[in-house]
Amino acid sequence: MSALRTLTRTRLAQPVCRVARLSLRGLATSTGELKKTGLYDFHVANGAKMVPFAGYSMPLSYGDVGQVASHTHVRTSAGLFDVGHMVQSNFRGATVTQFLEWLTPSSLDSLPPYTSTLSVLLNEKGGIIDDTVITKHSDTAFYVVTNSSRRERDLAWFSSKLEEWNASERAKDGKVDIEVLDGWGLLALQGPESASYLQSLTSFDLSELTFGKSAFVPLEGFNLHVARGGYTGEDGFEISIPPQHAAEVAALLSKTPVQLTGLGARDSLRLEAGMCLYGNDLDEDTTPVEAGLTWVIGKDRREAGERGNFIGAEAVRKHLKDGPPRRRVGLVVDGAPARQGAKIFAPSGGELIGTVTSGIPSPTLSKNIAMAYVQTGFHKKGTEVEVDVRNKRRTAVLTPMPFVKSRYWRG
């Protein structure tokens, strides 16, 4: 294939199941000159309504296709999302595994090559600086994707901790460095028909690429890093693209039955899938145990000792041992949707026990769903509570998440 444009393998290790953490909440908080992904002109040419989000001009919707229609298309067919505003970074070095295991509670040494894990960056109090997906490329190279809304905080944290690490005895076998892949494209192809469509463009057997795995895949003259996973709960893929080819690949991937999809549908899809959004459902005052992310903490890292030496470990272990004071839960709310900030009370005019962090009318379920934190003791499924929606108490029932069953391809 003489026309093949090949990416250097050491340049990229693309994570799985990590797409931008999108929320309409970000629309009202952006200030200053907006950045543009490499697909800005592509979006405008395709009739996108562009809005501010996390410092970028991003598509809310396309043409006259509404949020519910876009949402439903992803659940029943396939949608394509531009998430190129996410921060993509390579970490390399002889001690890179130990470094990243210091920043996170995940077990990365046992992670196979080209496999990803959801993780969290923790502060000294065990609070979540950001949620992230870490992909192991090799024992000396990892690819890390973080949220665009946390760019300054994350990159400053990385810089500070790299300086501390490289000046310490822990780096005696080799220092660690970071390369931020600014300008790289990131596309998410999501939905039950995404695999068949992508398979039509490649000779690579995508059935071998199960959820959580990635590979370099030839796609119509490109050799791109493709990861199976996503932020919708549907089967799908994430595709990383060098800056100069982003528009070409987007055009290639957005033909029938694939439909371009924007921020509106992204938020409702991720909430139905029970996935957290940083700034709504996660923050620096929330530990992974409170957030229901205990599973990202490696079992071999939960006890004090060399393997349990990560930033914030003491606070995390306290919550593991004694239980957290509050827990993230799902709610189905009667009557009207409960939005972020709605107060939650014990039944029959009882005490204040929690707060809603995300809430929508679910297009798939035709019910009002929400994510929230409630005091431990009120967190069991089936528990009835009351939610203050526009100064009226609404009955809500704690419901397991995801609200809509995930359909990842596991082979």
| Main-chain phi, psi angles of 178, to 5 degrees | -120, 145
Q: What does the radius of gyration of the chain's CA atoms come to, in whole angstroms?
A: 21
HEC string for 21-80 = CCCHHHHHCCCCCCECCCCHHHHHHCCEEEEEECCEEEEEEECCECHHHHHHHHHHCCEE
Q: Locate the domains of the chain by residue range.
A: 35-84+184-272, 326-403
pLDDT at 9: 36
Output the CA torsion sign for 98, 100, 104, 108. negative
Which class is domain 35-84+184-272? alpha beta
pLDDT at 15: 33
Question: Is residue 238 a known part of a binding site?
Answer: yes
Q: What letters, b where the CB count within 10 A reaches 16 and e where it falls short, cover 9-27?
A: eebbbbbbbbbbbbbbbbe
Q: Are strands 79-82 and 259-260 parallel, antiparallel or unpaired?
A: parallel
**pTM of this structure:** 0.91
CA atoms within 13 A on the CB side of 45: 8
Answer yes or no: same fold for 35-84+184-272 and 326-403.
Answer: no
CA atoms within 13 A on the CB side of 244: 4
pLDDT at 172: 97
Q: Which two tokens stand for residue 15?
A: 């994570």
Per-residue pLDDT of the chain (411 residues; tens, 9 = 90+): 323 333 333 344 333 333 333 334 444 344 469 999 999 999 999 999 999 998 999 999 999 999 999 999 999 999 999 999 999 999 999 999 999 999 999 999 999 999 999 999 999 999 999 999 999 999 999 999 999 999 999 999 999 999 999 999 999 999 999 999 999 999 999 999 999 999 999 999 999 999 999 989 999 999 998 999 999 999 999 999 999 999 999 999 999 999 999 999 999 999 999 999 999 999 999 999 999 999 999 999 999 999 999 999 999 999 999 999 999 999 999 999 999 999 999 998 899 999 999 999 999 999 999 999 999 999 999 999 999 999 999 999 999 999 999 999 999
Spatial CA neighbour of 339 closest among 28, 3, 18: 28
Spatial CA neighbour of 249 closest among 184, 181, 180: 184
Which CATH code, of 3.30.470.20, 2.40.30.110, 3.40.630.40, 2.40.50.100, is assigned to 326-403? 2.40.30.110
Ranges of H-type helices in 77-227: 96-103, 151-166, 194-199
| 355 contacts 348 by C-beta, under 8 angstroms | no
